[in-house]
Chain A
Amino acid sequence: MSDSEVAVHNPALRHHFAEVEQQRNASSLGMWLFLVTEIMFFGGMFCAYLVYRTAHFGDFAAASSTLDLKLGAINTAVLILSSLTVVMAVWTAQTGKQKALVMYLLLTIVLGVAFLGIKGVEYAEKFENHHVPGPTFHFAGAIPGHPDHPADPRHAQIFFSLYFAMTGMHAVHMIIGIGLFAFLAFKAWRGAYTPAYFTPIENAGLYWHFVDIVWIYLFPLLYLIDRHK
């Protein structure tokens, strides 16, 4: 290391790292390893979904067709837009635009809350129609393409159990993400992040994009089964 590099010592560099790049790589790798555990966590639910959908395809299609496709599609758009605001937050941190950084973080929170609000409307509709698994569960739909063939309510209940488990866990991740961004927005407003140090913004961004990817798979798997019939 030359003298000139020592002179511009980064205040964010912790003593147990040799240089800023090593520190940043370590936290980035750590974040990705956490996301790997998240992939396997959601993977278990996707696996259960795959097994039951294969076994009871017609009943799953009947239950899926009761979901509100318009609200699901709007929520997909809201979440994708929030991914754009997050990536813009990272960009403003990289380029040192502090006010814009705070704005993009707050915008992400607004979009996250909008997503949860729309999800809440959908959940309320499930309660009204007794599509929530449990003693009051009731389902009387027919298998798409076979109007004389009613779907088995027990299998439809499995679909709704998976629906609530998967979208519920996804929503929990969104709530945690919103909390995370509120904290980061406060820190960013206080000027904690500079082009020389913005690792928390970067890692929270990775988390948010991961949650977005989970929804990118949930949307077609839950809302788009046999819609053409």
Chain B
Amino acid sequence: MAEHISSPRFYVVIWLSLMVLTVVTVVAAQIDLGPFNTIVALTIASLKAVLVGLFFMHVKYAHERMIKPVIAAALFFLFLLLSLSMADYSTRLWS
């Protein structure tokens, strides 16, 4: 079985990137970007989540082929939950 083993140095680099992104998100929140404050905060959070997922949870090197489709399905249904709920609540005052 060909198993991928990352080096501790690589993990430390990912950890440092996550720490830098945490500092960036706190600093960015102090600057007035208008509606983009939320977008920047969520983009940085998603970038961090992707780093954790791909390299700490080893999704990039997953030996089981169904893992990626399962994650994609979960994200799709989460998207449905959030987007359809918002489509409902944000249009209720239209009538």
Q: Interface of A with B (CB < 8 Å)?
A: 20-21, 24-26, 28-29, 32-33, 35-36, 39-40, 43-44, 46-47, 50-51, 54-55, 69, 73, 76-77, 80-81, 83-84, 86-88, 91, 94-95, 205-206, 209-210, 212-213, 216-217, 219-221, 224, 226-229
Contact = CB atoms under 8 A, between A and B. Distances in A.
Contacts of B78: 39-40, 43
Interface of B: 1, 3, 5-6, 8, 11-12, 15, 18-19, 22, 25-26, 29-33, 37, 41-42, 44-45, 48-49, 52-53, 55-57, 62-64, 66-67, 70-71, 73-75, 77-78, 81-82, 85-86, 89-90
Contacts, number: 127
Grouping DSSP codes into helix (H, G, I), strand (E, B) and loop, the B interface class, with mixed when no group exceeds half, is helix
B42 A84 contact: no
Contacts of B81: 40, 43-44, 47
B15 A80 contact: yes
A216 B77 CA distance: 20
B82 A217 contact: no
30 contacts: A20-B1, A25-B64, A28-B64, A32-B70, A39-B74, A39-B78, A43-B78, A47-B81, A51-B89, A73-B22, A73-B26, A76-B22, A77-B22, A80-B22, A81-B15, A84-B11, A84-B12, A87-B11, A91-B6, A213-B48, A213-B49, A216-B49, A217-B45, A220-B29, A220-B41, A224-B26, A224-B29, A227-B29, A228-B31, A228-B33
